[in-house]
Amino acid sequence: MLRSWYLKFRLLGVLLAVAAVIGVALPAAPRAAAASLTQVTNFGTNPTNLQMYVYVPNSVKPNPSILLALHGCQGSGPYLYSSTDFGSLADQDGFIVIYPSTNPGGSCWDVSSDQALKRNGGSDPVGLMSMITYTEQHYGGNPNAVYVTGESSGGMMTNVMLADYPDVFKAGAAFMGVPYHCFYTGTVRGWNGPCAGGQVSMTPQQWGDLVRNDADPGYTGPRPRVQLWHGTADTTLNYNNLGEETKQWTNVLGVSQTPSSSDTPVTNWNRNRYNSSAGSTQVETYSIVGAGHQLPIQGTQMAAYAIHFMGLDGSTTGGNTVAVTNPGDQTAASGTPIHALQVNATDSASGQTLTYSATGLPPGLSISASGLISGTPSSGGTFTAVVSATDTTGATGSTRFTWTVSGTITGTTGALHAVGAGKCLDDPNSTTTLGTQQQIYSCSGGANQTWTHNPSNELAVTVGGGSLCLDANAKGTTNGTKAIVWSCNGQANQQWNVNSNGTVTSVLSGLCLDVTGASTANGALVELWSCNGGSNQQWTLG
């Protein structure tokens, strides 16, 4: 979900001067005994008080490459570290990952202001550049091998950074972004509704001129290569933005608007490549059929494909491919053990051992390293499972299917009754203010107490002429996370299992919807807490 909007830019001339001071004034960079995400403070000029986290794998290579990885709105650096595969790929390939966090926490990057959209203009990019310079000086990072990636607001910032600092980045991968300058409002972290809705369209020349004339005027050197990802069902940042990004970067990089090649490397992944006259891919796009605002999906090949495009893996897989056989859509009943399901895959190289993993399985199910799925579903709903198989060279394949588990109240509309208090989940005063924490209140039958549990596992309330979704604030996964309302976006922190045992659990964290302090009073707030069987965690819908 997108609250404010962010930008990352490197003020190279300013920061190089600042870096000289930093090198003398700061202590050596902290290193954990075992590889872990480490927070770094006092890393240099930081006008917006960003937070810096860095991941240095135990297997880090000499003079390592640097990846700047940018979270989306309501996210953070630690969240991106835990919810994507870039850290494990760094373990495999020996590069360093910087995971910044915005300020205030959970906000979007600034991709809308005049400062953000110009080299050395100010705002978030100054702090981001300080992080990169610090990493180069204190961790031995290679200034000639710096890359950037990001999701949602971070995907937007990826485009901005590539435009503002073409001499710094060698390549970038933007997941669910918009073109550089599309989100312009002239205000810091502003919201541009027409751009988000896919209503801003320009010619390739117009888009390209914005990069050339506004971001870093006068720059004539080489430009970073660009990879772009978007889901066709994205309702937060419209899928049309992928086409506009493609027009911009093919124009900037001087390649044809017609793809040099098109293929489907994974089921429902439509890839286009735009090559130079020498045959080098300058722009690569992935259109993910049916995907919403959820990329990159952890446990799939998405992050690995991005790493490969940027060259962070050394491109040493040898070209072999893994194909996973789709087992077809599955059904089960909550509380009833399933018949074990064996997933199979083939490898184009002989003698390879395949290791299986999965994301999105129904709670209670798990997969073995050999591809056997077993267990007892613990809650109902419709789940999108992605099973991947990886060989010893790192080549990976995956397949996706749905698993429908009965025993849920999906599709029901009505009051969500707090059993222990005898009251109803209530949107205070029918507010449409995003981020409002929800409460319980005497049941009135009003629209602000009428919730729909839809097939996407969202709990939606209609107020002020529009729908809002119950949301785990800032994608929280800890006790005390506020239950708020926010614009519906299909992300996991807005998905809820309404279980046959009376609990309502967050798909993201598994925590229970909980009335604070087991209160029975009107206005008692609702949060997430470890499931404990208390009456303040019991709900009925309808």
pLDDT in tens, 222-272: 899 999 999 999 999 999 999 999 999 999 999 999 999 999 999 999 999
Flag the least confident range among 10-19, 160-169, 205-214.
Answer: 10-19
Q: Which of 351, 377, 406 delimits the end of a domain?
A: 406
The answer on 212 and 73 residing in a single domain is yes
- pLDDT score recorded for residue 179: 98
Reduce the DSSP state of residue 301 to 3 states and report it: coil
Decide if 254 contacts 275 (C-beta within 8 A).
no
| 124-138 helix and 12-25 helix, angle to the nearest 10 degrees | 50
Residue 70 tokens read as 């940018």
How many domains, the chain? 3
Separation CA 130–CA 137 (nearest Å): 10
- The verdict on 328 and 303 lying in the same domain is no
Question: For 389-398, how does the pLDDT look when each residue is reduced to its tens digit (9 = 90+)?
Answer: 887 766 667 7
pTM of the model: 0.58
Helix (H) or strand (E) holding 93: helix 86-93
Bond from prior residue into 64 cis (ω within 30 degrees of 0)? no
> Does some domain include residue 535?
yes
Q: So what's the pLDDT on residue 11? A: 27
- Domain assignment of residue 161, yes or no: yes
Is residue 342 over pLDDT 90? yes
Could you tell me the CATH number of the domain that includes residue 98?
3.40.50
Confidence of residue 17 (pLDDT cuts 50, 70, 90): very low
CA atoms of 246 and 316, how far apart (whole Å): 28
Three-state secondary-structure class, residue 12: helix
Q: Is 152 a catalytic residue?
A: yes
247/250 Cα distance (integer angstroms): 6
Same domain, 350 and 453: no
Residue with tokens 């083939």: 346
Domain boundary among 406, 422, 439: 406
Contact (CB, 8 A) for 434 and 361: no
Question: Predicted confidence band at 412 (pLDDT cuts at 50, 70, 90)?
Answer: confident
DSSP 172-218: EEEES---TTTT--SSTT---HHHHTT-----HHHHHHHIIIIISTT
CA–CA gap between residue 451 and residue 504 (Å, rounded): 13
- Adjacent-strand bridge partners of 147: 67, 171
Q: Do 55 and 116 share a domain, yes or no?
A: yes
The predicted structure's pLDDT at residue 320: 54
DSSP codes of every residue in 110-172: B-SSTTTTSTT--SHHHHHHHHHHHHHHHS---TTSEEEEEETHHHHHHHHHHHH-TTTEEEE
Domain assignment present for 280? no
Residues ≥6 apart with Cβ < 8 Å to 510: 363, 531
Strands (E), 41-116: 51-55, 66-70, 96-101
Residue 9 clears pLDDT 90, i.e. is over it: no
pLDDT band, very low/low/confident/very high, at 408 (cuts 50, 70, 90): low
Q: Decide which of 362, 378, 406 is a domain's last residue.
A: 406
Q: Are 104 and 184 members of one domain? A: yes
Residues 143 and 56 in one domain: yes
Determine contact, residues 165/9, Cβ cutoff 8 Å: yes
Residues 343 and 301 in one domain: no
- Quickly state the pLDDT bin for 516 (edges 50, 70, 90): very high
Q: Write b or e for each residue in 358-379: b if 16 or more Cβ atoms lie within 10 A of its Cβ, otherwise e.
A: bbbbbbbbebeeebebebebbb
What is the model's pLDDT at position 144? 85
Q: What is the pLDDT of residue 190?
A: 94
Q: For residue 192, what are the domain limits?
A: 12-222+296-310
Query: Does a structural domain hold residue 374?
Result: yes
Predicted pLDDT at 313: 83
| Two structure tokens written together for 293 | 């605002």
User: What's the CATH number where 394 sits?
Assistant: 2.60.40.10
Residues 396 and 429 both lie in one domain: no
Q: How far is CA 233 from CA 238, 288, 314, 490, in A?
A: 8, 9, 33, 10
User: Could you tell me if 342 and 447 lie in one domain?
Assistant: no
For the cut 60, the answer to whether the pLDDT of residue 59 exceeds it is yes
CA–CA separation, 6 and 72 (whole Å): 9
Residue 105 lies in a domain: yes
Q: By percentage, how much of the chain surpasses pLDDT 70?
A: 90
Of 137, 121, 106, nearest to 43 (Cα)? 137
Q: Is residue 259 part of a domain?
A: no
Which residues, in sequence order, are bridge partners of residue 476?
Answer: none
Tell me if 201 is assigned to some domain.
yes
Q: List C-alpha distances in Å: 22 to 19, 45, 424.
A: 5, 9, 55
Q: What is the DSSP letter of 6?
A: B
CA distance 301 to 280: 22
Whether residue 341 is found in the same domain as residue 379: yes
Q: Is 213 exposed, middle or buried (0-12, 13-18, 19+ CB in 10 A)?
A: exposed
pLDDT of residue 14 exceeding 50: no
Q: Which residue has the tokens 């919807």?
A: 513
Segment holding 308, helix H or strand E: helix 302-310
Token pair for 379:
């809650």
Rounded Cα–Cα distance for residues 440 and 417 (Å)? 9
Closest by CA to 480, choosing from 530, 444, 435, 436, is 530
Does residue 501 have a pLDDT over 80?
A: no
Q: Which of 101, 112, 113, 152 is an active site residue? A: 152
Measured between alpha carbons, how far is 370 from 376 in angstroms, rounded to an integer?
19
- CATH number of the domain within which 462 lies: 2.80.10.50
291 located within any domain: no
- Percent of the chain scoring above 90 in pLDDT: 65
Strand order in the sheet with 341-342: 341-342, 372-375, 365-367
Alpha carbon distance 283, 243 (integer Å): 12
88-107 confidence digits (pLDDT tens): 999 999 999 999 999 999 99
Same domain, 199 and 73: yes
